Amino acid sequence: MPVHYPDLAGQSYRPSNGTEGVLFEERFCDHCTRMSAECDIYSDALLYDLGHRHYPKEWIYDKDGRPTCTAFCDRRNGDAR
């Protein structure tokens, strides 16, 4: 992801626009073993506002301030959660 905000490390992440959202989805959701009709993380991110109690806690800025999904399991590497 081209977004990098070190001062936001550990805070919730929400894409700021559609382009950023597509980049995040291509990086994580499209390659995740969890991505299916049963993936509440993706659905909740679309349905709820940042700060809402149902907004996914898995979407955060990592320790370097880059957007990440802590539940990501890369199916290209055979991850299976």
* Identity of residue 38: E
- What is the domain count for the chain? 1
Residue 78: how many other CB atoms lie within 10 Å: 8
**Looking at per-residue confidence, does 73 or 59 come out higher?**
59
Is the pLDDT at 36 greater than 90, yes or no? Answer: no
Q: What is the mean predicted confidence (pLDDT) over 23-41?
A: 84
Domain containing 14 equals: 6-77
Place 59 in a pLDDT band, splitting at 50, 70 and 90. Answer: very high
Q: Is residue 18 part of a domain?
A: yes
Is the pLDDT at 81 greater than 60, yes or no? Answer: no
Q: What is the mean predicted confidence (pLDDT) over 37-61?
A: 91
Q: Is residue 1 part of a domain?
A: no
Per-residue model confidence (pLDDT) at position 43: 86
